[in-house]
Structure formats: C-alpha cells, structure tokens
C-alpha cells in the first residue's frame, strides 16, 4: 500500500516534502543531512557499526544500478570483523526512495555472514532505514516474533546497526537478511530449465512488472530464477500460476482436505497470526511472499515490511487501534485486502487451527512487549543518536502516522508507545481467539462492531493527502468521516501536484456507481476529480469539475465503469498557484454500487449431472435449478464472512425448481449461496437490499 504527471507517484509517495522529507526523486546518498558528522567525530556506543565507502567519484543514486564500494564492519565490542571488503550497493524500497534517509541493498562478491546475523552466508544483504518509524523497532520486533513461528520455514534475521557512508553518519539501520533463494534462506530447488522440477519464489505485489501472473484479482511476480528461453519461461510462469490458483480456489471452496493437498496450512496459519498481531496495513498490497519447492506444497512467507504496522498508519479506519480484526483480513473488497486470509478465515477449520496455534504460542508472544523495551534500552544511546542526525522526525508528521504517534516528542515516548500498543493488542487477541465469536466467524472492528462489507466502498479504502513535487508545502488532517482537510501554503504549478485520494478501489466493467461528497474551499476555485487507474499511465474512467466556495456544498452523481480494473483511485486535484494560501475540505466521500452489469446466465451441465442447470436471478432474488433425477437438495446461505445464516434440506424429484431467496427474511447485505444436489454443489454471491 505504500502506494504508488502523477497519481502513481502520489500513491507511492505521500506528502514527502512535509517536515523535512524530500520530493526529489533519487538524490545522492548522504547529501541532505540536518546534522553532518564524520566517523571521527563520535565514539561507538552500544551498536555495531558498518562503514561503507564508494569508489572515488561514485555516488549511490539508483535503485536499478549498483555502485562499487568497500565495506568495513565493527562489532559490538569495537573489533573489526571485516575491513575494506569489496561490495556493490544500491537503493532499495518503494516509498522510502523519496525520503532523505534511504534504504540500501548490499551485494558481496563472495558469500558472507555479516555479524553472524544469518543462519548462513549469502551475497546480498539489506540495510533498512525505518525512516517512517519513530521507534526504529517495528520491523525488528515483527521479525523477532516470526522467529518463534516454526510454521514459517524462513524468516529474515536482523540486527540494529549504525551506518556510515563516505565518512558521514547516516543513523541507525536494520541489517537484515535479503529474501532470495539460498540454502540458508529460501531453500528451494534451482533448476531454471525445468518446469515442475524447479522451485519458485513469488511475491504478491501491486508494484510487480517482471514475470507477472494473477491469482484471483491479485498480481504476483516470480522472484526466483527462470529460464532464459522464452518458451520454457512462459511454461514455468503458467505452471506456478496454475498451481497457486489451485491453492487459492481450495481455500475459496472451503474444502480442508483439498487445501491440504496443495498448501502447508501451518505456514498459512502462522503468517496470518503474525500479520494479525501487528495489524499490517500493507499485507494485501505488496511484500506478501510464498514459495513452492519441486515436489512440495506451497509455503507462505518469508515475512517482510512492517514499518507501517503496529498502529503506525492513519490512512485506513481502524489500523491505528490495538483492538479489532484487520479489515483487510476479512473484507475482500479493496486492492489492499489479502484474499488468502479473507477466504481462509471464512472456514471454521481454519479458525480452529488459529485458536489452537495461538494457545500454543501465547507464552512466547506475551514476551514481545517487554522485548521491545529491552532492545530499546540496551541500545538507547545509539537509537537516540539517530535523531541527532534526523532531527525532523520526532513530534512531526513524517508519513501517515496517526496523531497519537505524531504527538510523541522523544525516543522513549516512541518505544514505550510501541510496547504498550503490543501489550494491549496481545491481550485483546488472546480474549478474542478464545471466544465463541471467533469460532462462529464474527469479526469485530476496533469499536467491537461486527465487520460486514460496507455499502460505501470508500469506507474501507486508503485515504491519502498527497504532495507530488518538491515545491509543494501543505499540512492536512484525515477526518473520521471519509475526508481530508488540507491547508495549502504552496500548491506548486500544476493541479496534480496536490491531491486528496481514495485508493485501492475495484471496479467491474458496466457496473453503475453513485459518487457523493461534501466540499468547500476558503477561496472560490474549481476542483477536478477523476476515477482513474492507480498505476501508470493513470488513465481516467470518469472526470468531473466542481466549483468550490466558502460554504459547504454537496455533490451526487453516477457513472458507469468502462473497464474492469482491480486497482483504481478517486483523485481530487487541488494543486497550482490559485490554491496557494487556501484551505480545502473534502468530506463524507461515498461510492456505492447502484446496478451490477452481471448477466445471470444459467450454469449448463451435461446429462450425467444431477444438477443440469442452475441460474440465480439477482433482480428477483430467485435461484432456479433443473434436476435430472430425484435427490436431496441442500440450500445454504452464508454471510460474506462465512457464517451460516440459513440451511434447509428437501427431497426433490426430477424437474425444475425455484427458491425465492429474497423472501427468507435476511438482513440487507452481501451473502454467499450454495446449492447441493447429492455430491454436486454450486455457489454464487448475492446482495439483499433494503
């Protein structure tokens, strides 16, 4: 969800010019320091030190191209474990690329185990800046939890270090194992000219451009080596795509035995528990890894990217709160949702497994809040020195932190907040996972209300305030009623340079939507809105201009979607000089499906099937079927989250029958219907309106 002219850049880079973060694309490393200190100007505190020196005349200025350099490593005791070893180094990350404090990937000529962080040696290592995390501990703490989850075959090991580049102090970084194929990391077969006898490492990511394939509505990419022969490579992608779709459909069908054929379910349980503990807002957007070894089942993991977890995001309702189940784990209605978790949690057998696993892990999990404090206090001077260098973070809005975190003005405040949040979260989950509500498939939000798919799809979308050029200066407040108030000091030159955005919207061609919102501005100015792609080239499906005044006005209108697209955004463009000095409010945003384009054609089967034809008429709420022989018919209806709400069994002779589902007395909402004739079954989705 660190989401990506330039809505795409906006959705990747939120208000990056605010409070000392830079909008210039890829600046040379170490040139924007608020405090400049060389290695000779300070003594070693508690942490190991990594020193990197690029070759004379070279700078680190690219995510794609490596720069030649040398590395020296000083251990915690002050001794050199490595001196002037040859490496290459580049930037890494997505949103963090636009921050002054950048993250890096380091590559050695020969395999190394830096500071014995890894289980074994490897060529590539990561230096994570944690530039959006005032505690500097969210990634480290989450990966330490993952170490205790033996259902995950590999979790990256990590260690906090202080980094110096070209004799300039860069702050505290997380030295971390990279996610790649290696006998001590993701240990899978490497036969790049084989198809079924090859191993595959994959990532679910909205950023994916190389070796992509889809599972359901999600984009995946192959991250392990594939054949250089185009025809073999295509077969490899088709093979892993086909296998993972079988895995996904087994969860969607709810058949435990089928799922166990394809998936190591222990890994799915553990990766879910990990992401639920920390309430990871990114788990459906990117960095969701899985792998399949030749001849083995699908494994979930390794875990990655948690700097916006543990209450550190205000862009989606409920993610800053320690109470409640993550909406993106149960509501598969947004591009940020994780459909693997959504479908798994609809099955009681999966919830049973989660309950049992939590009980087995609870003694280890309960130690996490204290472990945060121990780590912070054991390395307190080093962590604090990071904020001598980056003195524009504490007490400031750096990225998408909630106001409770923005208010924290000291490092101790930050790690105490993190520890307290985790303590409350673990207590809440312990009570919830042992409850009848969990086993019954009732998933509460942060206020204790049962989560159901919202009629207003913006209610579960990411809402962002965006500055898309270096000249823009603005402040903003995310409103609790799907809105933003923005004060614009400098709006840049073009309208797209400042935007209010709701992203992650999913549309189907031909569907009609009703859009409404309230708007006002301190000056009489026009605002353009677009429903558009959330990725390059950011084509618009619907555009409208409204004229603002100092009085609150209301807009309501409809549009029909011209293309199916599972990653869209609603963008209000409010940049340019006319907006300088203005205050703009967009509030009560609502986007509601009015009419679906779905044509309910009957499912036609051959005469060998008991259930010859089936059709659900959504307009009338009637399920129609044609039976070849006498058989028991079982009609079941489930909430969209998998809780059974209706069940009837009837003996029927051969012939045509209708079930008036709309008249059963269900509350308005979305449901899943299932008709079984003997051992044959058909499922469908339906909406009961008021």
Q: Where in the chain is the domain with CATH 2.60.120.260?
A: 457-595
Q: How many CA atoms lie within 13 A of 345 on its CB side?
A: 29
The pLDDT value recorded for residue 602 is: 55
Contacts of residues 105-113 at CB distance under 8 Å and 24 or more positions apart, as own/partner, are: 105/178, 106/52, 106/71, 107/66, 112/82, 112/85
In sequence order, what are the beta bridge partners of 74?
Answer: 49, 80
Q: What is the pLDDT of residues 486-511, one digit of tens each?
A: 999 999 999 999 999 999 999 988 88
Sign of the Cα torsion 88, 163, 171, 185 reads positive
Token pair of 508, please? 């189907």
Q: Give the whole-angstrom CA distance, residue 108 versus residue 70.
A: 9
Q: Do the beta carbons of residue 267 and residue 300 sit within 8 Å? A: yes
Q: What is the pLDDT of residues 22-43, one digit of tens each?
A: 333 344 444 333 444 445 556 8
Average pLDDT over residues 56-61: 87
The pLDDT value recorded for residue 9 is: 33
Q: Give the whole-angstrom CA distance, residue 258 versus residue 429.
A: 29
Which of the residue ranges 13-22, 202-211, 338-347, 517-526 would you say has the lowest mean pLDDT? 13-22
In which element (H, E) is residue 243 found? helix 230-253
- Spatial neighbors of 593 by CB under 8 A, at least 6 apart, are 455, 457, 511, 512, 513
Token pair of 250, please? 């087994």
Q: Give the whole-angstrom CA distance, residue 515 versus residue 499.
A: 18
Report CA dihedral (141, 99, 474, 409) to the nearest 10 degrees.
Answer: 40
Average pLDDT over residues 309-325: 94
The pLDDT value recorded for residue 506 is: 92
The pLDDT value recorded for residue 523 is: 95
Q: Give the whole-angstrom CA distance, residue 581 versus residue 142.
A: 42
Average pLDDT over residues 208-214: 83
Residue 433 CB coordination number (10 Å): 20
Q: Is the pLDDT of residue 407 over 70?
A: yes
Q: Is the pLDDT of residue 167 over 50?
A: yes
Distance of CA 118 to the CA centre of its chain: 26
Q: Do the beta carbons of residue 315 and residue 479 sit within 8 Å? A: no
Domain covering 611-688 in this structure, CATH number: 2.60.40.3080
Distance of CA 353 to the CA centre of its chain: 24
Whose structure tokens read 């990594």? 50
Q: Give the whole-angstrom CA distance, residue 201 versus residue 179.
A: 9
Superfamily classification of domain 457-595 = Galactose-binding domain-like (2.60.120.260)
- DSSP labels for 456-484? BGGGGSEEEEEE-STT-EEEEEEETTTEE
Sign of the Cα torsion 424, 430, 431, 437 reads positive
The pLDDT value recorded for residue 340 is: 97
Q: What is the pLDDT of residues 356-399, one digit of tens each?
A: 999 999 999 999 999 999 999 999 999 999 999 999 889 998 88
Q: Give the whole-angstrom CA distance, residue 507 versus residue 333.
A: 10
The pLDDT value recorded for residue 598 is: 54
Residue 133 banded pLDDT, cuts 50, 70, 90: very high
Q: Give the whole-angstrom CA distance, residue 368 versus residue 406.
A: 23
Distance of CA 168 to the CA centre of its chain: 34
Q: Where in the chain is the domain with CATH 2.60.40.3080?
A: 611-688
Rounded to a whole number of angstroms, the CA Rg of the chain reads: 26
The pLDDT value recorded for residue 624 is: 84
Q: Give the whole-angstrom CA distance, residue 463 versus residue 104.
A: 29
Q: What is the mean pLDDT of the chain?
A: 89
Q: Give the whole-angstrom CA distance, residue 662 versus residue 338.
A: 30
Whose structure tokens read 């699908």? 298
The pLDDT value recorded for residue 41 is: 53
Q: Give the whole-angstrom CA distance, residue 620 versus residue 662.
A: 7
Average pLDDT over residues 543-566: 94
Q: Give the whole-angstrom CA distance, residue 122 versus residue 306.
A: 23
Instruction: Return the SS3 of 595.
Output: strand
Q: What is the pLDDT of residues 68-120, one digit of tens each?
A: 999 999 999 999 999 999 999 999 988 888 788 999 999 999 999 999 998 89
Whose structure tokens read 């709810």? 254
Instruction: Return the SS3 of 429.
Output: helix
177 or 685: which leads in pLDDT: 177
For 233, list phi and psi in degrees, rounded to 5: -60, -45
Q: What is the pLDDT of residues 619-644, one digit of tens each?
A: 678 888 888 888 888 888 887 667 78
The pLDDT value recorded for residue 42 is: 60
Question: To the nearest whole percent, how much of the chain has pLDDT over 70?
Answer: 91
Which of the residue ranges 29-33, 276-280, 520-524, 614-618 would you say has the lowest mean pLDDT? 29-33
The pLDDT value recorded for residue 690 is: 62
Instruction: Return the SS3 of 502.
Output: strand
Q: Do the beta carbons of residue 482 and residue 459 sit within 8 Å? A: yes
In sequence order, what are the beta bridge partners of 25?
Answer: none
Q: Is 85 exposed, middle or buried (0-12, 13-18, 19+ CB in 10 A)?
A: middle
In eight-state DSSP terms, residue 294 is T
In sequence order, what are the beta bridge partners of 659?
Answer: 623
The pLDDT value recorded for residue 600 is: 55
Question: Which residue, 232, 147, 251, 240, is CA-closest to 201?
Answer: 240
């Amino acid at each position: 969800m660190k989401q990506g002219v330039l809505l795409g850049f906006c959705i990747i880079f939120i208000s990056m010019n605010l409070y000392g973060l830079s909008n210039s694309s890829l600046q040379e490393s170490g040139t924007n320091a608020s405090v400049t200190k060389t290695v000779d100007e300070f003594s070693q505190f508690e942490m190991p030190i990594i020193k990197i020196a690029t070759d004379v005349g070279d700078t680190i200025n690219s995510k794609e191209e490596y720069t030649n350099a040398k590395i020296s490593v000083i251990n915690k005791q002050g001794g050199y474990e490595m001196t002037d070893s040859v490496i290459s180094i580049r930037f890494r990350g997505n949103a963090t690329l636009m921050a002054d404090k950048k993250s890096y990937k380091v590559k050695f000529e020969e395999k190394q185990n830096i500071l014995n962080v890894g289980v074994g040696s490897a060529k590539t290592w990561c230096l994570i800046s944690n530039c959006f995390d005032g505690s500097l501990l969210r990634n480290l703490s989450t990966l330490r939890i993952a170490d205790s989850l033996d259902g995950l075959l590999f979790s990256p090991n990590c260690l906090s270090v202080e980094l110096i580049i070209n004799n300039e102090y860069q702050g505290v970084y997380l030295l971390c194992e990279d996610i790649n194929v290696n006998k001590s990391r993701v240990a899978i077969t490497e036969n790049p000219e084989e198809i079924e006898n090859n191993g595959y490492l994959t990532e679910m990511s909205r950023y994916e451009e190389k070796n992509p394939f889809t599972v359901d509505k999600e984009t995946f990419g192959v991250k392990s080596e594939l054949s250089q022969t185009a025809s073999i490579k295509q077969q490899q992608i088709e093979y892993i795509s086909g296998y993972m779709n079988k895995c996904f459909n087994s969860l969607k069908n709810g058949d435990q035995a089928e799922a166990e054929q394809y998936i190591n379910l222990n890994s799915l349980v553990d990766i879910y528990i990990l992401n639920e503990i920390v309430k990871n807002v990114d788990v459906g957007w990117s960095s969701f890894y899985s792998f399949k070894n030749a001849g083995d089942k699908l494994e979930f993991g390794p875990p990655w990217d948690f700097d916006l977890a543990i209450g550190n995001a205000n862009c989606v309702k409920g993610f800053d709160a320690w109470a409640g189940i993550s909406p993106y784990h149960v509501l598969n209605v947004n591009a940020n949702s994780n459909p693997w978790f959504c479908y798994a949690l609809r099955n009681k057998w999966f919830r049973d497994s989660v309950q049992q696993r939590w009980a087995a892990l609870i003694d280890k999990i309960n130690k996490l809040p204290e472990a945060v404090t121990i780590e912070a206090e054991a390395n307190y001077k080093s962590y604090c020195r990071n904020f001598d260098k980056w003195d524009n973070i504490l007490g400031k809005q750096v990225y998408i932190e909630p106001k409770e975190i923005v208010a924290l003005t000291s490092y101790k405040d930050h790690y105490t907040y993190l520890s307290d949040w985790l303590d409350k979260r673990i207590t809440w989950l312990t009570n919830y996972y042992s409850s009848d509500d969990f086993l019954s498939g009732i998933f509460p939000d942060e206020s204790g209300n049962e989560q159901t798919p919202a009629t207003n799809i913006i209610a579960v979308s990411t809402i962002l305030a965006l500055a898309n050029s270096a000249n823009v200066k603005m402040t903003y407040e995310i409103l609790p009623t799907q809105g933003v108030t923005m004060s614009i000091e400098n709006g840049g030159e073009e309208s797209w340079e400042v935007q209010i955005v709701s992203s992650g919207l999913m549309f189907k061609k031909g569907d009609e939507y009703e859009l409404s919102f309230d708007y006002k501005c301190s000056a009489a100015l026009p605002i353009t809105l677009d429903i558009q792609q959330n990725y390059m080239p950011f084509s618009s499906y619907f555009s409208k201009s409204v004229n603002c005044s100092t009085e609150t006005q209301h807009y309501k209108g409809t549009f029909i979607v011209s293309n199916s697209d599972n990653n869209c955004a609603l963008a209000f463009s409010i940049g340019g000089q006319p907006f300088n000095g203005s205050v703009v409010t967009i509030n009560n945003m609502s986007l509601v499906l009015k009419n679906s384009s779905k044509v309910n054609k009957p499912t036609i089967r051959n005469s060998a099937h008991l259930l010859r034809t089936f059709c659900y008429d959504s307009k009338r709420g009637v399920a129609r079927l044609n039976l070849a022989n006498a058989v028991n018919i079982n009609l079941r209806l489930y909430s969209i989250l998998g809780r059974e709400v209706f069940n009837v069994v009837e003996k029927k002779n051969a012939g045509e029958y209708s079930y008036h589902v709309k008249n059963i007395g269900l509350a308005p909402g979305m449901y899943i219907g299932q008709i079984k004739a003997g051992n044959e079954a058909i499922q469908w989705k339906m909406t009961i309106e008021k």
